[in-house]
Amino acid sequence: MKATLRRVSALGAAALLLSGLAACSSGNGASDSNWRTASSVEGGGGMDALIAAAKKEGKLNAIALPKDWANYGEVISTFERKYGVEVEVENPDASSQDEITAVSSRKGQERSPDVIDVGHDFDVAAAKQGLLAPYKVTSFGKIPDSQKDAAGLWYNDMGGYVSIGCDAGRVAKCPTKFSELLDPQYKGKVALTGNPAESASAFGSVFAAALANGGSFDNIQPGIDFFAKLKQAGNFNPVEATPATMEKGETPITVVWDYRNAAYSDELKAKGIEWKVAIPEDGVFAQYYSQAIVKWAPHPAAARLWQEFLYSPEGQNLWLKGYARPVLLPAMVADGTVDKSSLDRLPQVNEDKVSFPTEAQGQAAKTAVSNGWAKAVS
């Protein structure tokens, strides 16, 4: 198996011109104004200066980072121990759109997020809105050109494949394809992890359903229509799936990223629940999430140190441990820094079938879902 996601269509790079940048005030990079405008660790005075400044700030404002999402619990705790910077996560289960709303509505406020981790299309939109600060992490050159903004406004971090998770104890035969989800035996059982007009994971599920039902990157409508049919058949469950709803049996079939379902499998196994995971061969869809620094981050040094950590082999391997495929995985395999045991645990998939929508296709699909989802499942 090829264990990496490959971007086969170039993404348009969003450019953002910055004016009135404050000059670096000292050589050690410890001042707030220096790190607020530094576009690289060298530009701010070096890694030691960045660590010192981040420790002085003492805090990082994050949002929408559930501990069970791609091993973020361990990612956060490792960063806190390593650098002595507290990571405060607001609303862990928020959607990508919630993150953008929080950033745009809190300009100049201490409670503004410092960083965001959102579905790729949301970061592209945020860059166009002027919400992001350019910063190139030390490993920026190893990130494929199609996986980052040329100015460093955003860069993809980790991703996975849409998958079907199933409680084998409550479902007689677990489905492995989208075409099977319309079977009457799944009445009231098929759930998503949110509203696809706001949630990147749910949006990916609709895109995968489109590909499974004659759609394409230019036409997501068959995916919307598929969930309308699920609703009409009584199989669609409007409850937002979480580990708690899965444990209670409220959402025994959940369509979400494979690394989420794989992590649920580990978590639920300890509670006596067999949670099976399948990547549907009739709707293979993969997507990355993206990282970015907020332009008016209250803790600019901590924000930049967070990115440096995430794009180091240590940070990337922690995501891999959580079943997610980090963007630097090809480079890490090549240079021998990958955690091979975690690599071998990834859900199996034939990656020769995988391609990705362009930025324009993704935006058009988002518009179609925003306009048509509520009517489809009302």
CATH of the domain at 59: 3.40.190.10
Considering the domain architecture, whether residues 98 and 41 belong to the same structural domain is answered as: yes
**Higher local confidence (pLDDT), 31 or 126:** 126
* Domain assignment present for 261: yes
pLDDT band at 9 (very low <50, low <70, confident <90, very high): very low
Which helix or strand (DSSP H or E) is residue 136 part of? none
Considering the domain architecture, whether residues 275 and 313 belong to the same structural domain is answered as: no
On whether the CB atoms of residues 132 and 250 are closer than 8 A, the answer is: no
Task: Tell me how far the alpha carbon of residue 289 is from its chain's centroid.
Answer: 3
pLDDT band at 165 (very low <50, low <70, confident <90, very high): very high
The 10 Å CB-count burial string (b at 16+, else e) for 342-370 is: bbeebbebebeebebbbbebbbbbbebbe
**Higher local confidence (pLDDT), 81 or 1:** 81
pLDDT band at 268 (very low <50, low <70, confident <90, very high): very high
User: Which tokens in the block code for residue 107?
Assistant: 């300009």
Residue 16 has pLDDT above 50, yes or no: no
* Domain assignment present for 232: yes
Residue 17 has pLDDT above 90, yes or no: no
Residue 187 has pLDDT above 90, yes or no: yes
pLDDT band at 4 (very low <50, low <70, confident <90, very high): very low
The residue ranges of DSSP E strands in the chain, in sequence order, are 59-63, 86-90, 115-119, 132-133, 155-167, 190-191, 236-237, 253-257, 275-278, 286-294, 325-326
Considering the domain architecture, whether residues 150 and 293 belong to the same structural domain is answered as: yes
Please report where in the chains the tokens 């935006």 appear, as a residue: 363
pLDDT band at 59 (very low <50, low <70, confident <90, very high): very high
Average pLDDT, whole number, for the chain?
Answer: 90
Considering the domain architecture, whether residues 254 and 293 belong to the same structural domain is answered as: no
* Domain assignment present for 233: yes
Considering the domain architecture, whether residues 196 and 281 belong to the same structural domain is answered as: yes
* Domain assignment present for 229: yes
Strands 86-90 and 59-63: parallel
pLDDT band at 348 (very low <50, low <70, confident <90, very high): confident
pLDDT computed for residue 25 by the predictor: 34
**Higher local confidence (pLDDT), 28 or 180:** 180
Considering the domain architecture, whether residues 210 and 303 belong to the same structural domain is answered as: no
pLDDT computed for residue 32 by the predictor: 54
For residue 185, CA distances in Å to 32, 175, 182, 190, 255 come to 59, 10, 8, 11, 17
Strands 286-294 and 275-278: unpaired
pLDDT computed for residue 2 by the predictor: 41
The residue ranges of DSSP E strands in 183-261, in sequence order, are 190-191, 236-237, 253-257
Considering the domain architecture, whether residues 145 and 247 belong to the same structural domain is answered as: no
Residue 112 has pLDDT above 70, yes or no: yes
* Mean pLDDT, range 24-45, rounded to an integer: 71
pLDDT band at 12 (very low <50, low <70, confident <90, very high): very low
Domain that holds residue 133: 32-159+288-352
How many domains does one find in the chain? Answer: 2
pLDDT band at 121 (very low <50, low <70, confident <90, very high): confident
Considering the domain architecture, whether residues 252 and 372 belong to the same structural domain is answered as: yes
* Mean pLDDT, range 324-332, rounded to an integer: 96
Length of the chain equals 378
Q: Which of 28-37, 89-98, 104-113, 299-308 bottoms out in mean pLDDT, i.e. has the lowest? A: 28-37
* Domain assignment present for 75: yes
pLDDT computed for residue 355 by the predictor: 79
